[in-house]
Amino acid sequence: MTSGIGSPADHYYRRVYTDAVRLVDAVRTLPGVDPSRIALTGGSQGGGIAIAAAALVEAHVGPITAVLPDVAFLCDWEGGTDIAVGGPYLELATYLSVHRDAADTVWDTAAYFDGVNHAAGITAPALFSVALMDDVVPPRTTFAAFNALGADDTYALADRQIEVYPYNGHEGGGFRHWERQVAFLRARA
């Protein structure tokens, strides 16, 4: 989270997000793949990457069928850092405890990679999940991204859902949520 935090051009997630978009580009060219039926999903860090990739693919490559982040990390970086009791957001808190004058730079850089900002550009149908006892990804960070969905396009808000798992931690909904993801995709096939 802090590798290259001084500049968006140098930050670690710049390459990760670029690679995710390029992967979607490559998958669309594979034999047996219908390029008009691509969905992006992932859990935790993969969920945050799915959000960013969905927004970037839709903006620069073309539409996707759906985005399905599960207990998505990399959303609401500043809010997550303010309330985290465990997990990777504490890396930012530790960094800022030593680099006390760097907060503005850190949050300016983080804004480029924050799933909340990316979610605003998503127009594809979305099924999120959040676990209310998650001590790795504070639930409010996932809710922040979900609530930002389609903010750049008011028509995108209609087809979105969030599954809430009140008694689960970072494992989220597990197998039950995978079944819900499959049903979500089937309903949009």
What DSSP designation does 101 have? G
Please say if 99 is a catalytic residue: no
Please, which residues have CB within 8 angstroms of residue 9's CB and are 6 or more apart in sequence?
none
Angle, CA of 174, 180 and 183, to the nearest 5°: 145
What are the C-alpha distances in Å from 121 to residues 55, 132, 133, 153, 188?
Answer: 5, 26, 28, 7, 20
What are the C-alpha distances in Å from 13 to residues 98, 148, 151, 169?
Answer: 22, 20, 23, 25
Say which of 11, 44, 114, 177 is annotated catalytic. 44
Say which of 76, 114, 134, 177 is annotated catalytic. 134
Please, which residues have CB within 8 angstroms of residue 97's CB and are 6 or more apart in sequence?
none
What are the C-alpha distances in Å from 39 to residues 10, 17, 28, 109, 124?
Answer: 28, 16, 11, 28, 9
List, by residue number, the catalytic residues: 44, 134, 170
